[in-house]
Structure 1
């Protein structure tokens, strides 16, 4: 499994928004979706604000691969599971980065309901 370099982690993790696209079976990319994402340690994580039924999330999970654009970085990725023990740190990172938008908005991507819809973006 490939890892992010420090510059990519800083740039993607520092970007206000990320754009992700899942890959179709024929190898083409679906349209990009703009979402929030955070860096925790050496990982980049995104969560589905509207649960497991959100179309981008369902497509990403089904495809397993795609692409991310953020902070001037564009990379092919794998949509991977997040380790169970990292969810508290991900919550903290979302709060630190996005709390200024208010609890109703940030509340959609933190807490116990957000853990099952968390994806780690792994570079390919």
Structure 2
């Protein structure tokens, strides 16, 4: 494990979209999925807008590791459960960052119905 640099946090945290792929059991990288990303403090998170049945989410849980691309940064990561105490600040950040979109679109990633599909993106060495 390693830490995000300040530059990585800034660039990924302010990126409009994140591309995320999981490693397969044979060590190859699966397809990238485009999603939203939010930063709270020194942590980066994403949520499954389509709940626990979303393909990317199931693959991420099964693998536990993958690769992300956003803001010109590409990095191997571990997929970890989100911090239960950090859900409301994360909701606030999603609203701040993506509030220009319709409320029903932002609602797909905020609120208690998405807390259990919050994924912390923990940086790994390549």
Whether TM exceeds 0.5 here: the answer is yes
The CA distance in 2 between the partners of 1:93 and 1:81, in whole Å, is: 18
Aligned alpha-carbon RMSD (Å): 0.6
Map of 2:61 onto structure 1: 61
Alignment of 1:66-81 (within 5 A): 66-81=66-81
Unaligned stretches of 5+ residues in structure 2: none
Q: Secondary structure at the match of 1:28?
A: coil
Unaligned stretches of 5+ residues in structure 1: none
Q: Secondary structure at the match of 1:109?
A: coil
Map of 1:12 onto structure 2: 12
The CA distance in 1 between the partners of 2:41 and 2:18, in whole Å, is: 18
Q: TM-score, normalised by structure 2?
A: 0.97
Alignment of 1:37-56 (within 5 A): 37-56=37-56
Q: TM-score, normalised by structure 1?
A: 0.98
The CA distance in 1 between the partners of 2:97 and 2:122, in whole Å, is: 21
The CA distance in 1 between the partners of 2:90 and 2:3, in whole Å, is: 18
CA positional deviation for 1:3: 1.6
The CA distance in 2 between the partners of 1:47 and 1:28, in whole Å, is: 23
The CA distance in 2 between the partners of 1:71 and 1:83, in whole Å, is: 24
CA positional deviation for 1:2: 1.9
Map of 2:115 onto structure 1: 115
Size of the aligned set, in residue pairs, is 124
CA positional deviation for 1:81: 1.0
Which contiguous aligned blocks of 4+ residues in structure 1 show a shift greater than 3 angstroms? Answer: none
The CA distance in 2 between the partners of 1:3 and 1:85, in whole Å, is: 21
